[in-house]
Amino acid sequence: MAPTTNTYFSSTTGYSGEQQLIDSLVIEQIAIFGLDLMYMPRENVNLDRLLHESTKDVFSLAMSIPMYVKSYDGYDNSMEMLTKFGIRSSDELTLVMSRSQWSTYYAPYVKSMYNADSNRSDLAQNNPLEGQTSKRPKEGDLIFFPFDGGMFEIKYVQFDQPFFQLGKGYIYELQCEKFEYSGEDFNTGIVAIDETSPRSAFPNIEFLLKEGGTSTFEFQEKVRIFDLTAIELTQTDDIKNFQFTDDSGVIRSVPYVEATVASWNITTRKLSIDNVSDMAPDQLNRETGNVDINEFDVALIVGQTSGATWYSVTAGQKPKPFDDSAEIQKEFNKIKIYDPVDTSPFGFY
């Protein structure tokens, strides 16, 4: 008879009592040495199933989950790099969470959230083709680290470390990198998290407003922007629709544009907004040949909470650190040769 391993102590199948003991010890260690961190599942809006990319991501659920910080002696690969896009932090973080706690306490909330987004019943299965899963933490989800207010994105979920003790895994190891904001919406109800958008260096639209506006804008309130170009040109009271291009490149008409107040200085009359519902690039100035016409230049901005009403003088991208695109455009305008007879190959101006 061929030799076998000990039949009383199986290292492959294990026994439920021993597995439960290890699981309880893991949970106890995380409870003693870990932290309560906020976990935010990513919700994809307008997901392209072919490319598996979405035009907009939303974070509306934040769950407090106990985790152990494996990189306890500081951030991994911690350095700041000066790039052409500004100062970039490459901090990394390794976190450990209990599998059984995830499946018991947190997975049902994530499953319900995804089903609500897709108009399915709470008990339905999530659709992986829509970037939805509640069986485990997901790459692309975020972790809020309270010590320095840092936001980290999960890049990889390691599920086989340690390697199947008694035939089972007990933890998820989350390998995270510093999150770089790129237009996501945060609506968790937690101020420190929801301020990620205005605190980022992501391009915002900045208005210079006319004197004489009424009331004052509130931080993070919704505003509506109306196009007054027709009123200025025709001296009538008609407010025309904005003509914008959507993600597919098709020109469409909207009566107003919605956005969120990122910053407001009533002294300098500069208003910065983000989360713009519709946006179009600067257009060609038929008189000078410069690409410097912005449909927001002559606009009415109305705060939906404060009732503030102001008129804009100019609008453009809010300056970012180390951003020299405006200077490059000025230099190009000096040396280019412009023929007003030329037509736009894209069919609009």
For residue 255, cis peptide bond before it (omega within 30 degrees of 0): no
C-alpha–C-alpha distance, residues 315 and 272, integer Å = 10
pLDDT of residue 301: 93
Are 38 and 130 in a shared domain?
yes
Residue 220 lies in a domain: yes
Between the alpha carbon of residue 175 and those of residues 31, 127, 154, 323, the distances in Å are 20, 24, 6, 31
Tell whether 341 is covered by a domain.
no
Determine the 3-state secondary structure of 110 from DSSP: helix
Residue-level pLDDT at 37: 94
Domain boundary among 151, 177, 194: 194
- Is residue 128 domain-shared with residue 225, that is, in the same domain? no
- Assessment of whether the complete model's pTM goes beyond 0.95: no
Assigned domain for 101 exists: yes
| 3-class DSSP state of 197 | helix
CA 330/CA 315 separation, integer angstroms = 17
* Within-domain flag for 37: yes
28 shares its domain with 174: yes
If asked whether residues 243 and 266 sit together in one domain, one would say: yes
Do 180 and 210 lie in one domain? The reply is no
What tokens were used for 231? 């009123």
Domain count, the chain: 2
Q: Is residue 3 part of a domain?
A: no
25 and 174 share a domain? yes
Q: 10-residue block means of pLDDT along the chain (349 residues)?
A: 68 75 93 94 80 80 93 67 59 91 93 88 82 89 88 91 82 91 84 74 80 90 85 56 61 81 90 79 68 81 93 80 66 71 58
Q: How far apart, in whole angstroms, are the C-alpha atoms of residue 111 and residue 116?
A: 9
- In angstroms, the CA 324 to CA 105 distance is 49
- Domain containing 312 equals 203-335
Tokens of 15: 């026994």
Judgement on whether residues 310 and 279 belong to the same structural domain of the protein: yes
Residue 233 confidence (pLDDT): 47
